[in-house]
Structure 1
């Protein structure tokens, strides 16, 4: 198939560090190319891909100090897509839904994966207006605010197994890995580690809009617990993989409806169990006593830490391999592409 993958331009594909959406676009694109499909990736020029690259900007927008108005670059990207759209069997969009008005006029088969949190007050009116837009959810939980939208499939994320090797002999630290924002509650990770009596490593990006939260709420905790809590900043590459694979467990004390949580399956790939609050997609990702535990509060999370020695990390890895590989994700999307393309052909034929 001739497939266009349209990525947001905020981070490169793959991203240097943080950037779950761009990371998933990369894994999907590379798997599709490996299978012999003709793939074109619309992304920033500093992306690294086996596909044909159409660059919408010179550098990832969040990495370019000269960029102020990110919307200007995304509008230009849409024009690039429109100019080339008839070269493809399907256009797969992954960014914010600014492309919806364009889709109606292209006369092409399109699909959009919604990667973020959906809000009834914001996305409700939009999705009612564009009720014909085929949408993919990344979890069933993600759909709950707008269950009536034109959902055509749920496709859970997947990652290449070789990127995260199994480690059956972890170190004795707990890990919090992710953006430092209130909804992910890194402060609760500190409390869980304190109750469990284990050191904690925190690794994550602090975006400009979140610096006040970091300064007011997290830095004081780091100072108070300097002997047991280590903040590593934004990690990438091999250092990030080592953090995940050597952790006794990954802590996800989320207090928001996480649409998926890519880091959870990355940890599972290493055999590292996930201790997560029972919110959002965690209930679809984490299996109790297999890949970790779902808990309701800090005390429940600390109690789960005491059960870590009984969990089989090789079994955790097998659970990942059966459900969350990039190959399985590509299978799901290819099946969807064929079905959507058949529908388009049938409409044109009539």
Structure 2
């Protein structure tokens, strides 16, 4: 199949440091190419891919000091996509809703994966205005706030099988927090839990401009007051394998409807159990008592840490390999692509070309 993948431009594909959506777009793109599909990736110019890259910005917008507003860059990318839309059997968008008014004429061969939270009040009327746009959720829980729309399915994220190696015997005796410093991710809870459990905590996370005040007023003082806590900052993929693999457990103490939580399956790939608060997608991702423990408060998290050594890290890895690989994710998407009512097969494209060559109008 000829497939277009349209990524956000905030980060490269894959991101150099933190970044969830662009990371998944990269994993999906590379697996589709590996499976033999003809894939074109619309993404930032510093992306690295085995697909055909259409650079839509010089570099990841978050890392470009000259960029103040990301919207113009995405508008220009959408113009490039729409001008070339007829080249593709399927167009797969990962940019929320920006393209909806532009793709009505070929919406029946598009897929839009929604990667973010959907419980914000401004989104309800927007999605109500586009009820026929083909959508994919990344967890069943993500769908709950939505008006009636055209869900094609839920497809959980996946990672390349060999991206993060399994660590049977972690060398560190610490807890890990990986992601982003923000109120909904609750790094303050992680610090409290580690202090009560009398365990070291290492925090590898980025601080967005929007969360700088939260860092300055809440988290930085807490880290300074707790000598068991080490702040590392943003880390890359190589550092992530060591960081997660050598941890006793990953703390995922979220306080929001997490749409998926990529870090949970990254930890599972390393064999590292996850102690997660039961919000959003967590009950869909974590097999309680097998890949970690689902808790509902700090007391439960501390108690779970006393039992985490009883979990079999090999079983944690086995669940990852069964449920959360990039090959499974790509297989799910390809099956979905083939069921789209407007999907164009090779035969249909051939008929159109032959008809045009001899001056006939052919309806494919």
Category of TM-score, reference length = shorter chain: over 0.9
CA apart distance, 1:148: 2.0
Residues 171-213 of structure 1 show CA distances to partners (whole Å, capped at 9, x for unaligned) of: 2100010100000000000111111111000010001111110
Residues 263-307 of structure 1 show CA distances to partners (whole Å, capped at 9, x for unaligned) of: 000000100000000100001000111100000000100100001
Give the corresponding residue for 1:250: 250
Give the corresponding residue for 2:357: none
Tell me how far apart the structure 1 counterparts of residues 87 and 184 of structure 2 sit (CA, whole Å). Answer: 42
SS of 1:260's equivalent in the other structure is coil
Does the CA-based 8 Å contact 1:200-1:230 persist in structure 2? Answer: yes
Q: Does 1:50 align with 2:59?
A: no
Give the corresponding residue for 2:178: 177
Tell me how far apart the structure 1 counterparts of residues 295 and 108 of structure 2 sit (CA, whole Å). Answer: 45
Does the CA-based 8 Å contact 1:82-1:106 persist in structure 2? Answer: no
CA apart distance, 1:308: 1.4
Give the corresponding residue for 2:339: 339
Tell me how far apart the structure 2 counterparts of residues 119 and 279 of structure 1 sit (CA, whole Å). Answer: 13
Tell me how far apart the structure 1 counterparts of residues 326 and 122 of structure 2 sit (CA, whole Å). Answer: 31
**Number of aligned positions between the proteins:** 348
Residues 84-106 of structure 1 show CA distances to partners (whole Å, capped at 9, x for unaligned) of: 11100000000131100011034
For the pair shown, the structure with the greater C-alpha radius of gyration is: 2
Does the CA-based 8 Å contact 1:89-1:108 persist in structure 2? Answer: no
Q: 1:120 to 1:223 in 2, by over 3 A?
A: closer
Structure holding more helix per residue:
1
Tell me how far apart the structure 2 counterparts of residues 129 and 269 of structure 1 sit (CA, whole Å). Answer: 40
SS of 2:124's equivalent in the other structure is helix
Give the corresponding residue for 2:128: 128
User: For structure 1, which runs of at least 5 residues remain unmatched after alignment?
Assistant: none
CA apart distance, 1:349: 6.5
Instruction: Using structure 2 for the length normalisation, give the TM-score.
Output: 0.93
Does the CA-based 8 Å contact 1:118-1:146 persist in structure 2? Answer: yes
Tell me how far apart the structure 2 counterparts of residues 69 and 200 of structure 1 sit (CA, whole Å). Answer: 36
Would you identify which runs of 4 or more consecutive aligned residues in structure 1 move more than 6 Å? Answer: 343-346
Instruction: Using structure 1 for the length normalisation, give the TM-score.
Output: 0.97
Tell me how far apart the structure 2 counterparts of residues 344 and 36 of structure 1 sit (CA, whole Å). Answer: 17
Tell me how far apart the structure 2 counterparts of residues 243 and 343 of structure 1 sit (CA, whole Å). Answer: 42
After the TM superposition, which of the residue ranges 234-243 and 173-182 deviates more from structure 2? Answer: 234-243
After superposition, where does 1:294-333 map in structure 2 within 5 Å?
A: 294-333=294-333
CA apart distance, 1:64: 0.1
Residues 71-127 of structure 1 show CA distances to partners (whole Å, capped at 9, x for unaligned) of: 000000001001111100000000131100011034661110000000252111111
CA apart distance, 1:342: 5.6
Tell me how far apart the structure 1 counterparts of residues 133 and 108 of structure 2 sit (CA, whole Å). Answer: 12
Tell me how far apart the structure 2 counterparts of residues 82 and 152 of structure 1 sit (CA, whole Å). Answer: 22
Give the corresponding residue for 2:114: 114
Tell me how far apart the structure 2 counterparts of residues 103 and 290 of structure 1 sit (CA, whole Å). Answer: 44
Tell me how far apart the structure 2 counterparts of residues 45 and 108 of structure 1 sit (CA, whole Å). Answer: 29
Tell me how far apart the structure 2 counterparts of residues 22 and 343 of structure 1 sit (CA, whole Å). Answer: 24
Give the corresponding residue for 1:104: 104
User: For structure 2, which runs of at least 5 residues remain unmatched after alignment?
Assistant: 349-361
Tell me how far apart the structure 1 counterparts of residues 281 and 106 of structure 2 sit (CA, whole Å). Answer: 33
Q: Does 1:220 align with 2:217?
A: no
